[in-house]
Every structure is written in C-alpha cells, then in structure tokens.
Amino acid sequence: MLKIEFCHEEVEPLVKMLGRKTGVPLVVNRMTGNVEKEEESQEEEESQEEDEWSEEDEWQEEEEQVEKGQEGEEGGQKEASGDETVNTPQDLLLKVIGDQSRHAKVKPGTTGAPFAQFADVQIIDVVDILGVENDVSGLGAVIALHEIWENYISHLPGGRRSQYGPAHKSAVEVERVISPLLIGQPGARVACSSIGTERVRPLALDMEHYFVMLTPRPMERRKKDGRYEATIRNRTLLESFTLAVPSLGRVNPTLINNVVARMKDEPLATARVTPLRLTAEDDATALQRAQAVRNALIVALGEDKYAKGSKDTDITLRRVQHEGEGADLSSYRPWVTSSALESDVAGVRVDVCKPS
C-alpha cells in the first residue's frame, strides 16, 4: 500500500505527476489516504482497513534516521526483506500499491536535506520535487520513487522496521533501473558534492555518466518553484591517479594525500574509484581494496561526521555501524565502480571529475 498521511491535496500534484510519468493512473482515496490505481478505486474503498494507523505516527524528529536505526538493531531486524526486484517505474508503483502486507507512508513537509527525509512516515518536499521535475524531466519522479520505495522496504511485513541502510541501498539499486527509463540517460546517482555549509547550498549529484547540478533558486521563488534549480551537466575529468595499495587493512593516509588535495581545491569534484586487480586476483579482493580507499578518502575529506573524534577511521564507517549496510551509498564524494579492471598494479585508479 502507498499511504498519504495528512494534507492529501498537497501531495496530489505529486501523485498526478507520478501517474503521468509511469503511465499508471493514480488517485488518492480521501477516506483512507491510500494511493490507488484509478479504475479500482470504487471497489477497493470498502475493503480498506481504517484504524491501522495511530496517532503515534505523527511528526518524527530530525534524528529519526539514527533512532530508528538503533531501534532496528535492538529488535534484531537489520535487513530489509521480501521481493525487491523492480524492472520499470510502473512495476515499482504497482508492487507498492498492490502489496497488502507492507506499506509505504509519505507526508508532505519541509526537510533539512533536499527533497525528503527517511522516517516511519517519509517526509517529502513536494514543491522541491515538482520543481526539479520541471527543470529535468524524470528527475523529480526518480527522487519521489526512491523515497517511496525506501519507505516501503523499511516497513517489513508484520509492522517491524528495518534500518535506514538496507532500505536506502535497495532504493539506490532501484534508481539504477528506473532513472535511465525516466531521465533518458544511462547511469544512476552514485555520489554527491556541495559548496559551502548553508542549509540550501549548491549540490552536484554524480549520476555516473553525467552530473545533475542543483542550484539554490532566488529566495522569492523557492516557495512556488522549490529550493533548487536542476540542470544536466557533462563530466569534466580533472585528474586521474593510479595508486598501488600494498595490502588490505588500513590505507596509508599519505597514499591518498594528492587526491584529497585536488578534491579540496574543487568542492564540487567527486572521485570515481576503480578497483585494479592483478591477473591472479579475483574481483572481490580488488573491490575490497577500492572500498578501503573510498572510506579513507571520505574520512580524509572530513565528510564522515560519524567518524569525527573517533579512532576507527578506516574500513568500516561509523555511519554504516549505526544505520546498517548501505547507509553510505550515493551521498559522499568518492564512489566505487562495480567492476574491476585488470592491471599490473594491485590498487585503484581514482578519477577526479566535476560538473562542466
């Protein structure tokens, strides 16, 4: 089920947009808040269970992610489960809407982070999402479907919740499938960079083969058109580094100093880390090495707020420890490609790129 909590009218334009983009005719059932396929709405109405949602599901605080992550941990429910395969945007919506054992819950609101915030009831900034959809066709739909899917995956059958990490990871994987279909370009969000520390600041989403640049709109336009203007940008390669990584384990910080120095010069630059493997090695070993380099870069760039003040600043990021595996995907500047390249160097290639 896809359930809208409160302010159905505010979410209706978003539901309409998703209906248009996916070709699934959608309506919001005002009685239940459920999003339904249009032609079925009449018959379905009577069979809806009304009292399933309690007042406890009211506004969640900013710290929701961490709190819920811990709760999930205590409850022993770390992993998301169920059928997580999605082939098309239509598929995604129909799967969520048609599932009587699990649900996604969303409500409109303003979020600290752009567009949305993970919570029991996912908060989505409808104005922001529709704003970027106007600028880059398909982008708003991808973002909204990511959030809906993430919330759906986090609600396990039987009412338990998974941690943020596995749910976000599943949504990132789904994004990889649906974003070429909706935006019309291959690739998916793998990294994110920003300029400055303002709450609403320029952001670059690294989409693997291109960038989406999000620029704060003038203050007077934000209420109507959303906080960010979105544009598609090509990739500019700034510099490539080949690093030999001697052994698994702690990555020597001096090894990555040059990369970090280059990235500090260019706040919007992201780093694609390609695993390099020797002929005799398997991909997994090379991939592990690349993940260690990525983690070391994140820490050296000061991006991992969970790692600050902590001694264990390598291999396992604290965020992953708190929120579950997958929590670190797509929101930092360095990212790792899925396949390794054969090389005479056991290490990584790091390509520092920025939006042109």
Nearer Cβ to Zn ion (156/263): 156
**354 touches Zn ion by CB under 5 A:** no
**Least Å distance between CB 190 and Zn ion?**
13
Residue 215: closest CA among 236, 246, 194: 194
**125 touches Zn ion by CB under 5 A:** no
Nearer Cβ to Zn ion (135/150): 150
Measured distance CA(298)–CA(339) in Å, rounded: 20
Mark the segment that binds Zn ion (CB under 5 A) among 32-40, 43-51, 170-178, 224-232: 170-178
**168 touches Zn ion by CB under 5 A:** yes
**Least Å distance between CB 118 and Zn ion?**
6
Angle at 110 between CA 109 and CA 111, to 5 degrees: 115
Measured distance CA(36)–CA(249) in Å, rounded: 50
Nearer Cβ to Zn ion (256/317): 317
Q: What is the longest distance spanned by two Cα atoms in the chain?
A: 66
HEC-encoded secondary structure of 281-347: CCHHHHHHHHHHHHHHHHHHCCCCCCCCCCCCCCCCCHHHHHHCCCCCCCCCCEEECCCCEECCCCE
Taking a C-beta distance cutoff of 8 angstroms, is the pair 89, 152 a contact? no
**Least Å distance between CB 333 and Zn ion?**
17
**Least Å distance between CB 257 and Zn ion?**
31
Q: Which residue reads 């399933």 in tokens?
A: 52
Nearer Cβ to Zn ion (171/348): 171
**Least Å distance between CB 171 and Zn ion?**
5
Taking a C-beta distance cutoff of 8 angstroms, is the pair 203, 189 a contact? no
Nearer Cβ to Zn ion (170/274): 170
Helix (H, G, I), strand (E, B) or coil at 110: coil
**Least Å distance between CB 250 and Zn ion?**
29
Nearer Cβ to Zn ion (149/211): 149
Nearer Cβ to Zn ion (119/287): 119
**Least Å distance between CB 50 and Zn ion?**
30
Measured distance CA(85)–CA(80) in Å, rounded: 13
Site for Zn ion, residues 137 to 166, rule: CB under 5 A: 150
CA distances from 59 to 29, 110, 267, 326 (A): 22, 12, 34, 25
CA end-to-end distance (rounded Å), the chain: 41
Residue nearest to Zn ion (CB): 168
Residues that bind Zn ion (CB under 5 A): 150, 168, 171
